[in-house]
Chains A and B, each alone.
Chain A
Amino acid sequence: MSEAIFEKVAALLASKKGVNRELVTIESSFEELGLDSLDSIELIADLEEEFKVTIPNTELQNIKTIRNAVDGLAKAING
């Protein structure tokens, strides 16, 4: 599941934010990828829509890397 989420994250970053797919790894931080807090809110909102889940605000503020995002989504999906 995590692999599928990661692929979706990378694809969204490429299509919405123009981030080079080759640069995105599970360890990448949003900052390294040139994303600020608003970019990350937009990304998470797109992912929430894609997977039909909601990540609580309290967890959102801790999502600063691709791994955080993938884990946060996996947790929300598995409920």
Chain B
Amino acid sequence: MQNRRVVVTGTGVISAIGKNTAEFWKSVVECRSGIGPYDSPFADQIRFKNGADVKNFDATASIAKGDLDLMDRFAQFAVLAAKEAVHQSGVQFNEENSYRTAVICGTSIGGVHAQEQSYYDLYRENKTRVHPLSIPKTMPNGAASNISMQMGIRGPVYAISTACASSNHAIGNAFWLIRSGVCDQAIAGGSETPFTYTFLKAWEAIRVVAPDTCRPFSKTRQGMILGEGAGMLMLETLKSAQQRGATILGEIIGFGMTSDASHITKPDQLGAERAMSVALKDAAILPEQIDYINAHGTATLVNDTMEIAAVRSVFGAHASQLAISSTKSLHGHALGATSSLEAVATVMALKEGILPPTANFEEKDETCDLDVVPNASRRRNIHFALSNAFAFGGLNAVLAFKKWEGS
């Protein structure tokens, strides 16, 4: 059977820089970073003070109270982002199509707020019981399952957990399910809400969080900044989108994944290179056709130098022609959700012909000397783009996108 083309007909976002796609994209274009002091009752006990958390989140207008009680914060984020993506696409789920639709959600850690509350109640408060819904709220598939329940989707529904590459793996899996004919439609992306005391302490302990802000590719970079959020894409076959008369936002054309098999936290350049090469091959395009890369770009010393070296290796002389930026400087590193936010930014970049910026850039680093679109977005009509994700555990996932140009 011939491969089917897969298009994006809806996007949804919850993030520190916008609680829907329009707000999110406006912040990207205006280079307005959402990084600042995070809200936590324990903030005074954490060494790093800044994050990109979602302020004043309230799902009560969109999700019924009884349903909301079943969901941890990460599932609420996911459901809202999914609703936005589905609404934009105009898809109506019914008896016929619901079995041919997938929901695949990335998350690194799942419902940690519910889990933390259980620990607090038992260890600190000496209670003898925890909340009766602690299990369904904590489970990492909580986001995917609640989306399926809210929307009446009955096809393949599952969670993917590959740390900071979770969402790219989720979107890539959905892309392949549709392309190969297993499904016709999918909601795919990720969600993460990591601002709990124990998790913040864990990030403090591993010593990669910057004291001030996220400065990818800058010589002055001092590490990552944690973010939270959710991003969802509504994917379907080109045929289905055209039959419905839907507005097509972009096309996914390739997916590549590799693993380093070397070190639990230190990325391996070869693994990153191969993931990009596999994605290009899967997309059946040449490296020279890529105009833009949404980088993994965590702003750790090691990642950014490794990533630029990998890009130079894969793209050769063309590396100097393409643009590569890290939108983590705007929405923070939302771990299992981060590449879903970056996928939305990449789709919008292709659609609008605007290169997303790398915010907070201060000083050129010789090891990161490519066009990183520093501190301001830029108009450029781009046709093909990659979005990179290189996770702890040595897991790499790269998506290839194409601008939708009417055919």
Contact = CB atoms under 8 A, between A and B. Distances in A.
Interface of A: 36-38, 41, 45, 54, 56-58, 60-61
Interface residues of B, number: 15
21 contacts: A36-B263, A36-B266, A37-B265, A37-B266, A38-B264, A38-B265, A41-B206, A41-B207, A45-B205, A56-B211, A57-B207, A57-B208, A57-B209, A57-B210, A57-B211, A57-B222, A57-B223, A58-B211, A58-B222, A60-B207, A61-B301
Nearest to A44: B207
B24 to A, nearest CB: 29
Contacts of B208: 57
A56 B204 CA distance: 11
Q: Nearest 10 CB-CB pairs, A to B?
A: A57-B207, A41-B207, A60-B207, A38-B265, A58-B222, A37-B266, A45-B205, A61-B301, A57-B211, A57-B223
A38 B264 CA distance: 9
B378 interface: no
Nearest to A45: B205
Contacts of B222: 57-58
Given A36-B266, A38-B265, A61-B301, A54 B47 contact: yes
A41 B204 CA distance: 11
Contacts of A57: 207-211, 222-223
A36 B265 CA distance: 11
Contacts of A54: 47
A58 B211 CA distance: 9
Nearest to A41: B207
A57 B207 CA distance: 6
B46 to A, nearest CB: 12
Majority SS at the chain A contact face: helix
A56 B207 CA distance: 9
A36 B207 CA distance: 14
Contacts, number: 22
Contacts of A37: 265-266
Candidate in B47, B207, B211 with the most chain A CB atoms within 10 angstroms: B207
A41 B265 CA distance: 12
A60 B47 CA distance: 14
Contacts of B206: 41
A45 B209 CA distance: 15
Contacts of B47: 54
Contacts of A61: 301
A45 B207 CA distance: 10
A14 to B, nearest CB: 23
B140 to A, nearest CB: 25
A15 to B, nearest CB: 20
Contacts of B210: 57
Contacts of A36: 263, 266
B235 to A, nearest CB: 37
Interface in B45-68: 47
Contacts of A45: 205
Contacts of B266: 36-37
A56 B264 CA distance: 23
Nearest to B210: A57
Contacts of A58: 211, 222
Contacts of B209: 57
B225 to A, nearest CB: 13
Contacts of A56: 211
Nearest to A38: B265
Given A37-B265, A54-B47, A57-B222, 10 more contacts: A36-B263, A38-B265, A41-B206, A41-B207, A45-B205, A56-B211, A57-B207, A57-B223, A58-B211, A61-B301
A76 to B, nearest CB: 13
A2 to B, nearest CB: 23
Contacts of A41: 206-207
Contacts of B211: 56-58
Contacts of B207: 41, 57, 60
B278 to A, nearest CB: 27
A57 B203 CA distance: 12
A58 B205 CA distance: 14
A8 B255 CA distance: 50
